[in-house]
Each structure stands twice: as C-alpha cells, then as structure tokens.
Structure 1
Amino acid sequence: ERLSFHEPKEQDGVCIVEPPDEVFEIGVKRWSNTLVGYFVGKRIPFKVVKEQLEKKWRKWGAVQVVTADNGNFLFKFDNNTSCDQVLSNGPWEVWGAYLALKRWEEGMSLCKDSFTSIPVWVKLANVPSELWTRPGLSYVASALGVPLCMDAATSAGNRLSFARVCVEMKASSSFPSSFKVRRRNGTLSEVMVQYAWKPSVCSVCRVFDHSSKQC
C-alpha cells in the first residue's frame, strides 16, 4: 500500500514530525478495543499465546493477537464489551505464567523494560455495604493503587462476602493484607485483602519481572 510524503519541521536543528489531530484519531480508533498484556517472569511463544487465549476467550468473540516489543502482546477485539469481559473475568495464565492485562491508551509505552507497576486482582472482604457502589469501591480500592475494573459479580452486587477488583499496584507497594476505611459516623472498618497472585519484586531497583539476584 502506497504512503504519502508530508514535509517535516525543523527546530533547533532537530527534525520534528507533527501529524495533525485527525491522523492521531485514526490510530486511536484502530486500537480503541485493544488490551495490552505481558507475561511476568516467563517468555511464552507467540503461537502458544495465540492458541491458548483464542480458545479461552472464544465465547466473547474473535481476538486478533499481535506481538509487540520485548514480550508485549496486543489483543484486539471487535468491540468494547469483549474487552470488558476479558478484563473482568481475569486473572489469566498461560503455561503457569501470569498475564498482566490493561487497556490500550493513547501515549502508552509498549516497552516493558522496567515494570514499576502491574495490574493485580484482589479480593476485598468486610467492605461496608454503603460503599458497595462503583464510586465507593473506587475509593476503597484506591488504598492499594489505581483501580482498573471489577468482576461481574461485584458489579452486580449479588455477592457481598467480598469485592473482587483489579488494581494497578506499584512495585514499591508493601502489598498490605488489610487497611481501614472511615465511615460517616467516624468508626473505622478494617478491610481484609487477599491477592489472587502476588508478583515478585526486585528489592534493589524496585521493579517487577526479575529477582534481586539478577540486579
């Protein structure tokens, strides 16, 4: 397919390419229903990833698997609902390796040289019932990191024994087993945390995906 030439600019002796907004919008639209993922601690062959995840995610529609830089994968779906279903039904594993998944966002780096944060599924027990809402659980889960999503049962509110949410946590996190929430009457409720999978963190450089012995 033919490409077209667009005159670049020069500033202080540096060549600078400045595409217009409409060019960026075309790219954003193309990747809008895409998840970005990588396997922590293990390299999985592309063929295995494609076959395994296509089979596991088949019930939510077709997925196009694309390999990116340094072990990253892009999973492109036909619609936003499929993305939500895959995220909310995680975590996912292939060959025993945890697949860290998050939504594609404009400007995000596809290089995973230093994992300073990672999506982790957690169970939150003893959450006050008055906070069992999307805004309420967002506040509660923020004690651990940046809340990304919750599973279908948590969203429906038909299982109040625990909330299951996915949180992007930093490598510098202490991965607490509990924290407290102050209710409107001033009392403190202790929320218990259970991790579906806890990643190993290098104690030297505080990043994921390699041990302190490698640093």
Structure 2
Amino acid sequence: MTARVLGGDFRVLGEEVHDENMEEIGEQGRPPGDPPDAPGSWVKKVVGCNEGGMPVPEEIVDESFVESNLKLEFPNGEDGEPVITIGEEVLMAMNGLWKRCMIVKVLGRNVPLLSLTRRLKELWKPAGPMFVMDLPNFFMVRFGVEEEYMNALSGGPWRAFGSYLMVQAWMPEFDPLRDEIVTTPV
C-alpha cells in the first residue's frame, strides 16, 4: 500500500481501502441516474415557492378538495373524449395563486426581459422578492410583499426606457394574445 500527499490531504491507495465518502454520496434508496433534487427544489427551500415565485398548487389546494369538486364524464362512452368539470371553489382557490401579480406593458417598445427586470427593480425598489415573467405582448410581475405590490400598482405614472408603463392587476380572464390594458394610474 502506498500513501500520497496532495495539497495537505492524505490519500491511501490500495485495493482493500475505499474512500467511504465517495460511497455515501446520494441517497441509497434512489435508483441510479436519478437527480438528488427535483428541478427548482433549492429555490423552493429558500423562498418557499417554486421557480418564478409561484406557490406550489399542491401546497395551497388539497388534493381531496380538488377531487371532491371535480367531475369526469364520458358523454360518448369510455372510448369518447372525456369532459372534465372543475368546481367554482377550486377555480377560486387556484386564482389565489395569482395574488400580488400585475400585468405590465412598455408602450411602443420591445424590451428584453432582463433589462425590464433590472429597470423595474431600480424603479420600485422592492425589499421582498419580485419576479418578472415574459408573456406575449406583456410582462407579468409577481411581488412577494403585498404592500410593494400595491405601491407599484397604484403609484405612477411609471416610465422606463423613455416610455410609459401600463400596469393593471392580473385577472383570471386576461388573455395576452387578445387583451389590451386600457387604463393605468396617472
């Protein structure tokens, strides 16, 4: 058996000696090739939300609640297309996921997501988390703190990149491909 010193560490080389740290990495019950953490799990652990600041739906709405307010029918028999009816209570609970979200449009300009994110953080100076997501023709901004959301929504008029920002609260009926923001604070 030989020993070798590498930068202050001793490593014993030989067939009968194994580095136990190498064998203990990862969970023993996990199949080989599975990642140790699901995507976004570190983010969720740190901020209590999924990527983009969105709460995890399963943690807000209980599965048994959804199942009790969900109806699955096969009007044309089991080989036909299913019809799923979601109860109003579930829809209202799911709308809570979009609390503290607003729709933003930069008038007359196409702005990259990262540039707008940086500018909005400079403009609104949120102390809590703020996430900006790209939508077709719009951006959606989600705040972690209710007061900061209300200040951004009701303050203004806001200007960025030499243009006005149109802002409105998120609504379940909003369709970024069809809708326009018609009013904004002045």
TM-score where L is the length of structure 2 = 0.51
Contact 1:60 1:85 in 2 (8 A): no
After superposition, give the CA deviation of every residue in 1:133-172 in whole Å (9 maximum; x if it has no partner).
Answer: xxxxxxxxxxxxxxxxxxxxxxxxxxxxxxxxxxxxxxxx
- For structure 1, the 5+ residue unaligned runs are 123-215
Whole-angstrom distance in 2 between the partners of 1:21 and 1:7: 12
- For structure 2, the 5+ residue unaligned runs are 1-37, 39-57
Correspondence for 1:118: 182
Q: Does residue 71 of the first structure (1) align with residue 147 of the second (2)?
A: no
Percent identical pairs in the alignment equals 19
| 1:114 to partner: Cα distance | 5.5
Whole-angstrom distance in 2 between the partners of 1:32 and 1:114: 20
Q: From the two aligned structures, give the one with the greater strand fraction.
A: 1
Correspondence for 2:150: 84
Contact 1:37 1:72 in 2 (8 A): yes
TM-score where L is the length of structure 1 = 0.45
Whole-angstrom distance in 2 between the partners of 1:89 and 1:7: 43
Contact 1:65 1:74 in 2 (8 A): yes
Matched residue SS, 1:18: strand
| 1:78 to partner: Cα distance | 1.8
Moved segments of 4+, more than 4 Å: 3-8, 10-15
Q: From the two aligned structures, give the one with the greater helix fraction.
A: 2
Correspondence for 1:189: none
Whole-angstrom distance in 2 between the partners of 1:118 and 1:58: 26
Identify if the C-alpha distance between structure 1 residues 65 and 59 changes in structure 2 by more than 3 Å, giving closer, same or farther.
Answer: closer
User: Root-mean-square deviation (CA), in Å?
Assistant: 3.1
Match of residue 53, structure 1, among 108, 120, 130: 120
Aligned length: 118
Matched residue SS, 1:29: helix
Q: Does residue 41 of the first structure (1) align with residue 123 of the second (2)?
A: no
